[in-house]
Amino acid sequence: GFGNTPGNLINEGRFAYADGRIYYSDAMDGESLYSALPDGKEKVKLAEGQIHHINVVDDWVYFVDLKQNYNICKVKKDGTERTTVLE
């Protein structure tokens, strides 16, 4: 599938919704990547950085980290296995 790409074209990729959770760039924490339930509960920090262009596909959250030279990265939905996909 294409994940949430159409929605990200509208919101600059700072939010994504998948499998009952939202994935977002938290402006209160330097735009680091977080996941939470739609009501804000069960908030979990997934990745440090200035995260944009979030897209969720299968078990992975893909994003661009502006603090890491705009590299394309991915991290598992539980915050493990952060990997740089494209430098």
pLDDT computed for residue 3 by the predictor:
52
Is the distance from CB of 74 to CB of 63 less than 8 angstroms?
yes
* CA-to-CA dists, residue 78 to 7, 64, 74, angstroms: 22, 18, 12
Which pLDDT value is given to residue 86? Answer: 86
Give the whole-angstrom CA distance, residue 86 versus residue 18: 23
Digit-coded pLDDT (tens) for 69-82: 999 999 999 999 99
- How far is residue 44 from each of residues 7, 48, 69, measured CA to CA in Å? 22, 12, 24
pLDDT band at 10 (very low <50, low <70, confident <90, very high): low
pLDDT at residue 2, rounded to an integer: 47
Mean residue pLDDT of the chain comes to 88
What is residue 11's predicted lDDT score, i.e. its pLDDT?
59
